[in-house]
Amino acid sequence: MTHDRPLLLALRALKLGDLLVAVPALKGLARTFGDHELLLAAPAWLDPIARLVPGLGGLLPTSGLDEPLSIDAGVVDIAANLHGNGPESRARISALDARLVIQHAAEHRSDPREPCWLDGIQERRRWVRLVNAFGADARENDVAILTPRTSPPLAGAVVVHVGAFYGSRQWPVERFAEVAATLAGEGERVVVTGSEADRGRAMGVVEQAGLPSSALYAGALGLDELAALVSAARLVISADTGVAHLASAYRRPSVIVFGPAPVEEWGPPPGPHIALTDAALRHGDAFADAPDPALLAVTAHDVLDASRGLLAASESIAMSVPSRSATR
């Protein structure tokens, strides 16, 4: 593979939400190093979303850190470690033999610009702080991505996303169902999303909520179609997952139920988003099989109250915008 411009490779071989919280840093790199082609080393399944990040030139399929990156040493001019600060990610970056390496400091700094790693800070801020230390112009809340060319399967829906990779983030089906049934009864068009692995939970929500079978979208959408659906949604309700970050990227009103992850580190940027949790009860084990108590402390009533508030606010904003004919 040949490239017309020098390469800047950013490593973040993680999941959808991890990609989306790195968008401000990626956009900052693209903005500052515009003479470079910016590639993202990330899992191949994220390519439909990577294509929507402004300034990102492509994706280098990278399923994790177990194998070396599929690019020869010396080809990359600038390498940015947006994955972490452990020995595995540092080794993968080191093997690129790049002219400039953007990463956090190890025990002994190899570059005086390297910032120290800080625990407990907002994840978007972490990576913006890193790239800005090397002269980038990144902005923490610059999370917006492009809208897919794919038409949304439905516009103006309340998207109830039941997906969560680990059990620690799985809010109970019966609570999702209560929320879905109530909002549908109030006149909202409700659809239920998730991955193929979430289809059983999604079916449970649809059945318990008394929704039509056409409301079941789990396992039926490609990632670009899911992004299109969220971009055109009236409201998004989910646990702390990639879909919640999509709602932030498209500034769609969202209610997010947090469990093991702290809102202070992974919560949404300013906007029409409400994060619900009980931090005092948090166990914090992201890989646990059982839902975190902080997540279980959030009731269907809590989510409904937050949802109604956001829906009312969005309607108020829409009514305050003059019609095209009224401004002529």
pLDDT, tens only, 33-46: 999 999 999 999 99
318 has pLDDT over 70:
no
The pLDDT value given to residue 165: 87
Rounded CA gap, 268 and 306, in Å?
A: 15
In percent, how much of the chain has pLDDT > 70? 96
Give yes or no for residue 319 having a pLDDT over 70.
no
280 pLDDT more than 90:
yes
Average pLDDT rounded to a whole number, residues 284-305:
97
pLDDT in tens, 19-75: 999 999 999 999 999 999 999 999 999 999 999 999 999 999 999 999 999 999 999
User: pTM to 2 decimals?
Assistant: 0.94
Instruction: Give the chain's mean pLDDT.
Output: 94
Q: Please, are residues 161 and 194 in contact by the beta-carbon 8 Å criterion?
A: yes
Pairing of strands 158-161, 235-239: parallel
- Among 66, 69, 67, residue whose Cα is nearest residue 81: 69
pLDDT of residue 3: 72
Dihedral over Cα of 311, 316, 319, 321: its sign: negative
> What letter would DSSP give residue 44?
G
Report the percentage of the chain scoring pLDDT > 90: 92
Element holding 92 (H helix, E strand): helix 87-94
Residue with tokens 């794919």: 150
Q: For the chain, which domains are there? A: 7-133 (3.40.50.2000), 158-320 (3.40.50.2000)
pLDDT-based confidence at 327, cuts 50/70/90? very low
Q: Which residue has the tokens 């279980």?
A: 296
pLDDT at 321: 47
Q: Would you say residue 17 has pLDDT above 60?
A: yes
